[in-house]
Structure 1
């Protein structure tokens, strides 16, 4: 039996696992092809040898009630990294606003396990959020923003991020119920968009996930 199967609560495999050793498991979530050939995917040990569909089903039972939205007017390469972070922090869904196509390289295949919706315009996205009664929390260092260290994130919300460089569009800022900035202490005006997204998601986790 593989290390992943014998102790799924401990992360032991960083480069994948080889073919399953010994008698194959019979549970339906296992993928026969992966059992035979090995599993080199970028997944936690708990999901080694599981089929992609089974992983998505299991994730759906544990996703957090926050969403992530990203404006995509300039084909920002950070979107893939933000999707990867959204998967890592258990976001419900990622919303891409603007161009439907985006560079998936930074996602490291996590987009296959993450729900992703496309909205043509900010207005379309805002209408969707209103239908689901989800407040939009814009993350940007613009006038009127409050610092993230003092902000109480709603449990159900959408964290909205802009493009690397220009940040959020004026329409996106206007659509937000709250505007939050990440405190900075150096000379740079702004941090990398994907880094800012990870900081904001982790701030939500600190407020709403119990670690006791």
Structure 2
């Protein structure tokens, strides 16, 4: 078996997502861009018309009621990478994606919780003065991961 495949994985999800349409769009991007799993914290996923590929049947989907529940179930050895417009966040253009990680995005209107930001191993942001739509932001991060291969 290819060691690169067995040693590399990533998942992506949203904490307290506001609009279900954004979930469907992000899940479709996750499937197309190679995510290993998807998840939500807080609000539950419901099938959306924009999820034309029925992604929750194609990728493992996890739902966590609280951030604490999510955090205690992170895969062992995975790095938690928050996508947040924060002064301490590294620009995506210079960020080195971990081989094994979980990307977490915040709600469209409030971002990630303070506790989630504090628990992240890394924070990344875009060169933008205003926040991006959560599905767009997540898709850009996954695309960047694909063209800037993770390092050990």
Give yes or no for TM over 0.5: yes
Q: How far 1:103 sits from its partner (Å)?
A: 5.2
Tell me whether 1:153 sits opposite 2:97 in the alignment.
Answer: yes
Distance, in Å, in 1 between the alignment partners of 2:87 and 2:93 is 17
Partner residue of 2:69?
A: 124
User: RMSD of the TM alignment (CA)?
Assistant: 2.1
Q: 1:201 aligns with which of 139, 142, 146?
A: 142
Match of 2:124 in 1: 180
CA shift for structure 1 position 73: 5.2
TM-score, length of structure 2 as denominator length: 0.85
Shift of 1:76: 4.3
Q: Please state if 1:163 is matched with 2:80.
A: no
Alignment of 1:138 with 2:82, yes or no, is yes
Instruction: State the shift of 1:75 in Å.
Output: 4.8
Which protein is richer in strand relative to its size?
A: 2
CA offsets per residue over residues 98-132 of structure 1, 9 Å max, x none?
Answer: 12244523222222212101111111111111x52
| Bigger Rg over Cα | 1
Report the Cα distance in structure 1 between the residues aligned to 2:123 and 2:57, rounded to whole angstroms. 30
Q: Aligned in 2, Cα 1:79/1:164: closer, same or farther, shift over 3 Å?
A: same
Aligned partners of 2:59, 2:22: CA distance in 1, in Å? 16
Q: Which runs of 5+ in 1 are unaligned?
A: 1-60
Q: Secondary structure at the match of 2:11?
A: strand
Distance 1:74 1:110 in 2: 19
Figure out how many residues of one structure are paired with residues of the other and give that number.
144
TM (normalized to structure 1)? 0.62
The structure with higher relative contact order (CA 8 Å, sep 6+) is 2
Q: 2: CA distance between counterparts of 1:103 and 1:72? A: 16
SS in structure 2 of the partner of residue 107 of structure 1: coil
- 8 Å CA contact 1:138–1:159 kept in 2: the answer is yes
Unpaired runs of at least 5, structure 2: none
